Amino acid sequence: MARQLDEQIVGRYPVGQRLRVLDVGMGQGTQALRLARAGHQVTGLEQDSTMVAAAREALSAEPEGIRERMRIIEGDGRDTGVHFLPGSFDVVLCHGVLMYVEEPDPLLAGLARMLAPGGLLSLLVRNGDALAMRPGLAGDWAGTLGAFDTTTYRNRLGLDVRADRLSTLTATLAGIGAPLRAWYGVRVFTDTAADDAGTPDDMEALLACEERAGRTDPYRGVAALLHLCGVRG
C-alpha cells in the first residue's frame, strides 16, 4: 500500500515538495513516520492511548529533524474540525479505520473538509464485495455462504466490524467533493497468511505479485482490502 500511496503523491505533486499530511487513526505511526522521513510535515491523530504511546516512543528514537516534522495528537478522527481548520492539509490518510465506524459518512465528510483544493484523500477499507473469500479459502462453507449478502464480519481480534463496497464509497466520495481517482486491491494473495508468519525468503517476488494484482482486474476486485484515492475538487 505504501507503494500505491507514493505513486499517487508523485503523480500529483512536484518531486521534493514538502506536503502537509494528516494521518487519522495513525495507530503506532508506521505510515506517518515513513512520510516524515521522506520530508513531509505530518500530523498523526489517534484516540487509542496505547497506540499514541507507541507512536511517541517510535518518534523519540528518530533524528531531531524528523521529530520536528511530526506531531501527534490524541483525539477522535470524527473531531477533525475541532483540531484543524478546513483546507489545512495536502494529503489526508485514513487507513484501517472505517471498519470500526458504524456511520462512516460524517467522518469522511470531515476528512474531505481538511483537504486543500486538489488534495489527496487515501482510504484503506475492508472489501465488502469479497468477504466470502477468506472463509472460502479456509474451507468454512457455512461462513462463506453467510458472507455473500452482508457487509459485517468478525475480524481476527474477535471484534464484529463492517466492510465497505466499492460502489458505495465511490458515490460517497463524489458526494463530499473528493471523487475517486484511483483504487487498488491490497492483500490479494496473502490474506490467509497467519498473523505470526515470518518474512519469506522471496519477499520481493511476493510484493511484486501483490503490487501487480492490486492494480489489475479481476484480481484487485477480490482483494481483502481496498485502497481508494480521492481528490478534492
Per-residue pLDDT of the chain (233 residues; tens, 9 = 90+): 999 999 999 999 998 899 999 999 999 999 999 999 999 999 999 999 999 999 999 999 999 999 999 999 999 999 999 999 999 999 999 999 999 999 999 999 999 999 999 999 999 999 999 999 999 999 999 999 999 999 999 998 899 999 999 999 999 999 999 999 999 999 999 998 887 778 888 999 999 999 999 999 999 999 999 999 999 98
Dihedrals phi, psi of 232, to nearest 5 degrees: -70, 125
126-153 burial string, b = 16+ CB within 10 Å, else e? bbbbbbbbbbbeeeeeebbeebeeebeb
| Grid coordinates belonging to 92 | 489526508
Question: Grid cell 524528523 — which residue?
Answer: 66
Beta bridge partners of 182: 229
Q: How many angstroms separate the CA atoms of 21 and 88, rounded?
A: 9
Peptide bond into 218 cis (omega under 30): yes
- Among residues 172, 26, 48, which one has the least CA distance to residue 92? 26
Query: Is the whole model's pTM more than 0.85, yes or no?
Result: yes
